[in-house]
Structure 1
Amino acid sequence: MSYGSLPLLKSLHPAAVAAGADIPDAVTIDGLTLSRSDLIGAATSVAERVAQAERVAVLARPTATTVLAVLGCLIAGVTVVPVPPDSGTAEIAHILTDSGAQAWLGEAPEGAELPVVPVRAHARSWHTYPEPGPDTTAFILYTSGTTGAPKGVVLSRGAIAAGLDALARAWAWTSKDVLVHGLPLFHVHGLILGLLGPLRVGSPLVHTGKPTPAAYAAAPGTIYFGVPTVWSRVVEDPGAAKELANARLLVSGSAPLPVPVFERLRELTGQAPVERYGMSETMITLSIRADGERRPGWVGVPVEGVQTRLRDESGEPVPHDGESIGGLQVRGPMLFGGYLNRPDATAECWTADGWFRTGDVAAIDAGGYHRIVGRESVDLIKSGGFRIGAGEIETVLLGHAAVAEVAVVGVPDDDLGQRIVAFVVPRADAPGELEQALIDHVAQQLSVHKRPREVRLVESLPRNAMGKVQKKLLG
């Protein structure tokens, strides 16, 4: 059955409900289950309240209010500025001022100065709005701000649609799937992939609130999203992990998945996880395909419409031999439209011939499979004349039975340029005098020049809201 032109939220096309094709469990979140008609009616009511605005802020808690606020804005063509609910006052002030948000939609933090527009979950409207053009800005997502004040990433409706469609094809994601996750609703992973993805393909979404092993095990789905921290906890709960054995895809992203977690997940569930790569600025550009080979530490091939290349510091090509590393550059229809109010930063991240500099270091093999080594700024270590990827060393260290977590950095060294230092969180049963044993472990498995010159044992690693290690705080 055809419903005419297909908008960004194509499974929410009003004609579908008018034709009697409802989805009774379209979104389940925070104890509520909303049908397709619930979503259309309530979100259109929100759209009527904000249709005259240009940009509104949404305090992105994992609630039905957040879902309806986002959908209402998308229906009306109003730009959403998602705000992490744990943001401090200074960060919130920066986001609101930089984005030009005119109001809070749904909820507001304590002491909010902007007006607050309520979201009424039981209100209904069947007014229809024309589909905004593909160049219309859907979201301004703010980066984590690890290298200064958070930057606003401008994402258009057309870019989001292209990214989601490419991903759906790579994963054979259809309306017959059920997506389960408990990720935050203020980043690409949880918000765009995890909320708009199922609404675009028409598959039900179950949001678990928090991504705990018990919550995932209790929610029957075919696709599960998680970050490495989530999957690490799942494999530590074998009973919960085995409940996921009937899933079609276990997807890991936002940070590299440790190889031991990959292998343990495969052992407990009977299937290897699917890894993928993306950024706020690019959405998902690389992924293991549903029918593709799943290799620990590799994030697959470009999704449809994406091209990639590697360049060294001089801008010269890096061979695709699976070992040589270089700066990863990408281009494709799902890339962002620039940093809001930051023309210099926007221009700096693009090459003269139109490729986006991701800032990540990668290797590509002869078959087109990609391995992400880490960030150029913190994970490319130049020691003794060698270019070394921190991720390779971290992978080896995580394979040691005594290591729970690890982060490898390069610190200034008068002789070597940079000295490799490993910050290690040991397991509870780890033996004493561990440092030299770990140095020797790396030297035995990698080239000797890649061994850490120093191992520092720590109780924990600094991480941001998405679980990524903040290496700038180490050293």
Structure 2
Amino acid sequence: MGAKELSNEVSQTLSEGNVLNQKVLYLCGNDANYTLTQWAIWMSGHIAVPLSPLHPQNLLEYYANDSNAKLIVTTSEYADLIQRVSKNCKTKLLVLDDKLRQNASQMNPVKQSDMEGGLAPDFYNKSNAMILYTSGTTGQPKGVVLSHKNLVSQITCLIDAWKWSEKDTLLHTLPLHHVHGIVNALLCPQYIGAKCINTNPDDRRISVYMAVPTIYSRLITEHQKVFSSDSKMVEYIRTTLKNKLRLMVSGSAPLPATVYEKWFEISGHKLLERYGMTEIGMCLSNEYDSDRTPGYIGVPLPGVSVRLVRKIDDGEDNYLNLLESTNVKGVVNTNITNNADSESNPVGELQVKGDNVFREYYNKPQATEQEFTIDGWFKTGDISEYSLKEKKFKILGRQSVDIIKSGGYKISALSVETQILEHPAIADCAVVGLKDDEWGQKIVALVVLKPKTETFNIEEFNNWAKSRMAGYCIPKEIKIITSIPKNAMGKVNKKELVQSLCA
């Protein structure tokens, strides 16, 4: 069975006649099943909603209910879990045969007839392709609706900027429910006709690798532990990586300068940093042929416009535009519009426009409206600085302390707090992110225990938390305190809390 046959099976299982644009959730491993399922959903005219095995059952059920999914596709590996989700959400279920992946993984030439299928181009030009869930400062995760036009824009700008070709081979080690793993590392090579290795890298002719800073940090630790005492092996690794790979990319979280420098020492590669979000794909990147400086995320990608703004304190959604930068067909034009001190670097909230920017949060018009300015710019919520010397942007941090970026994931501190407060021994808590070289930010929970609680076992808490939240949301550190300082309105000043923890 190929993508065409699976597409027919998806359509038949939905049994919706000629109704298109149904939401189809899918949970597959990092192998051919994932790609075939994604293609089949699109070929049959529906909207793909990828799930993650890192997420507990209650979160998967939230995604199914929130997206109004009509079908869930999975493999035998996850069948037991997804059967429970399907039953509780009253959603149809399709479990793929393991032979599908085995057949697709064989290195046989692909026939043209196997690739034929799908609907008319006009349908895809006007239709939504995917819903990816992302955390916000309040409430449950929101479904980011990406159209086929959004995806094509995001893919083509990266192919142009990062010099993709059909001769490339990428080693894929990223999550496939995240824009980094889906767009940058999977759809780009598929679009250009390059090779993507999702399992054991038996093909050593890798030319492209992408990862989050946490992965590079762990590779550095492993290199130091296993190879640092063997000078010949150290030289062999550096020579091989430098000569065989043409591009190594880091993103989804700030890259510490120490990691950048150590990886250059190990591999001979200056990691290419870029910046993006689920809602916009990638919007800034260091140029391929540039001399990369650690901490800088580059310039707008082709077809993308960005600006730095400062909020005007007039009670309205008005901004002072400090700088605007646009990339038209590879030519970047940056215009400083308001800067009181011409010698200082402009600093403001980064806002984005372009065909890469998402359509809406699914079924949440008010939340969507709040994330866009009156004149149509998407508010990233990140504070950025433009270097007049380097002529590049860098990210200084989030406007909101309630968004934590840990291990490449964007995590809502409030959502984690809500889960922790359900623990029978916990009376109050505050969750913050502290700077960390391995994780970017590590999640720290300050916890107040209920009266008469004699003991609190961290290991037991972690086991309890695993059934309620994704592993990357579980605090790396828990501090037991007697009370959490709050102001007269009962609010926690998290900026002061972080400063006190770092003191």
TM-score (norm 1): 0.69
Q: Quick check: 1:408–1:421 contact (8 Å CA) kept in 2?
A: no
1:50 equivalent to 2:48? Answer no
The alpha carbon displacement at 1:218 in A equals 7.5
1:244 equivalent to 2:238? Answer no
Residue correspondence of structure 1 range 321-336 to structure 2 within 5 A? 323-336=345-358
Residue correspondence of structure 1 range 345-360 to structure 2 within 5 A? 345-360=367-382
For residues 197-248 of structure 1, the C-alpha deviation after alignment (integer angstroms, 9 at most, x for no partner) is: 1110111001247xxxxx6x97431110100111101222335863532311
Query: Hey, what does 1:316 align to over in structure 2?
Result: 320
Query: Hey, what does 2:264 align to over in structure 1?
Result: 266
1:64 equivalent to 2:52? Answer no
> Percent same amino acid among aligned pairs?
33
SS at the partner of 1:199? helix
Closer, same or farther in 2 for the Cα pair 1:77/1:293, shift >3 Å? Answer: farther
Residue correspondence of structure 1 range 1-20 to structure 2 within 5 A? none
Query: Hey, what does 1:371 align to over in structure 2?
Result: 394
Q: Distance in 1 between matches of 2:295 and 2:247?
A: 17
Closer, same or farther in 2 for the Cα pair 1:146/1:181, shift >3 Å? Answer: farther
The alpha carbon displacement at 1:326 in A equals 1.4
Q: Quick check: 1:66–1:106 contact (8 Å CA) kept in 2?
A: no
Query: Hey, what does 1:24 align to over in structure 2?
Result: none
The alpha carbon displacement at 1:361 in A equals 1.1
Query: Hey, what does 2:188 align to over in structure 1?
Result: 197
Query: Hey, what does 1:181 align to over in structure 2?
Result: 172
For residues 70-90 of structure 1, the C-alpha deviation after alignment (integer angstroms, 9 at most, x for no partner) is: 111122221101111222222
Q: Distance in 2 between matches of 1:144 and 1:90?
A: 16
1:88 equivalent to 2:56? Answer yes
SS at the partner of 2:96? coil
Q: RMSD between aligned alpha carbons?
A: 3.2
Query: Hey, what does 2:127 align to over in structure 1?
Result: 136
Farther-moved stretch of structure 1 (80-89 vs 105-114): 105-114
Q: Quick check: 1:278–1:284 contact (8 Å CA) kept in 2?
A: yes
Closer, same or farther in 2 for the Cα pair 1:92/1:297, shift >3 Å? Answer: same
Structure 2 unaligned residues grouped into runs of 5+:
105-112, 228-233, 313-318, 323-338, 404-432, 445-483, 488-492
For residues 77-124 of structure 1, the C-alpha deviation after alignment (integer angstroms, 9 at most, x for no partner) is: 211011112222221121111111111123342413222224351499
SS at the partner of 1:364? strand
Q: Distance in 1 between matches of 2:58 and 2:187?
A: 29
Q: Quick check: 1:50–1:78 contact (8 Å CA) kept in 2?
A: no
SS at the partner of 1:182? coil
Larger RCO (CA within 8 A; separation ≥ 6): 2
Closer, same or farther in 2 for the Cα pair 1:454/1:81, shift >3 Å? Answer: closer
Question: Which amino acid letter does the alignment assign opposite residue 346 of structure 1?
Answer: T
Q: Distance in 1 between matches of 2:138 and 2:494?
A: 20
State how many pairs are aligned. Answer: 363
Of the three residues 276, 280, 285, the one matched with 1:278 is: 276
Q: Distance in 1 between matches of 2:485 and 2:349?
A: 21
Farther-moved stretch of structure 1 (117-126 vs 160-169): 117-126
Query: Hey, what does 1:455 align to over in structure 2?
Result: 502
TM-score (norm 2): 0.65
For residues 34-53 of structure 1, the C-alpha deviation after alignment (integer angstroms, 9 at most, x for no partner) is: xxxxxxx7111111122356
Q: Distance in 1 between matches of 2:185 and 2:344?
A: 31
Question: Which amino acid letter does the alignment assign opposite residue 44 of structure 2?
Answer: A
Closer, same or farther in 2 for the Cα pair 1:277/1:404, shift >3 Å? Answer: closer
Structure 1 unaligned residues grouped into runs of 5+:
1-40, 210-214, 381-392, 423-451, 457-475
Closer, same or farther in 2 for the Cα pair 1:220/1:127, shift >3 Å? Answer: closer
